[in-house]
Amino acid sequence: MHDPLNDLAGWTLAFDLDGTLVDTAPDLLGALNVILVEQGMAPAPMTAVRQLVGHGLRGMLIRAYAMAELTISEEEVAILRPRIVEVYRGRIAQESRPFPGCLAALADLRARGAMLAVCTNKPEGLARLLLDELDMTRLFDAIVGGDTLPVQKPDPAPLLEAIARVGGDVARAILVGDASPDTGAARAAGVPCIVLSFGYNDLPPAELGGDRVIDHFNDLAGAVADLVASCRARPESL
């Protein structure tokens, strides 16, 4: 019986970054709290991470103020965002680490011929800096960030761009993510999506609309195999 994982040549696996590949919450929240304290506010607790992380630095500010029952104007956001970027850049990999099993799973998929890309709403410069600091850039054939194009996920354009940059085919691509921007982009692009239950999910993982939900990177290969086999079973893919 043919093992779909024996040969993944021609397949593109695109990955979200924050909450998917890397647990960045400690450094993101740490940077946010520096700004909140500077503004005379109490720091946000780690228990609020799912409500705060996953919607960009702008979204973090707005949500943090809302959780404190305060409002922040767009003008104030525009003023504070460069400061939070500055603080975050200085500690980008101080506590952030790849999720357990991530590096081994990526190496295995590459060894099987898959082309790997990052498709994140994090600004591309910060995404590259983080991956460089963690010695992960070498694992990817393309990196598309939140400012690489004029639009971000859930618009499908960044995902389609990531696939195109590795020379891939939309019909042989899978997105791996943890939140609604990921599943939204995948649906819009007509690409299956694997949801990681341990990320910064903004909805219960089963309700995000992914094609598979996994609880650990050890389960990624099996989920990829299922989706590849399903694709190959379709008449149009034969």
Question: Are 179 and 54 a contacting pair, CB within 8 Å?
Answer: yes
Q: Is 16 a catalytic residue?
A: yes
Distant-in-sequence, close-in-space partners of 83: CB < 8 Å, separation ≥ 6: 35, 38
Does residue 176 sit in helix, strand or coil? strand
Token code pair at residue 219: 């389960």
| Identity of the residue numbered 8 | L
**What does the alpha-carbon distance between residue 214 and residue 26 come to, in Å, rounded to a whole number?**
23
Q: Are 54 and 177 in contact (CB under 8 A)?
A: no
Identity (one letter) of the amino acid at 128? R
Among candidate residues 16, 27, 178, 182, the one labeled active-site is 16
Known catalytic residues are 16
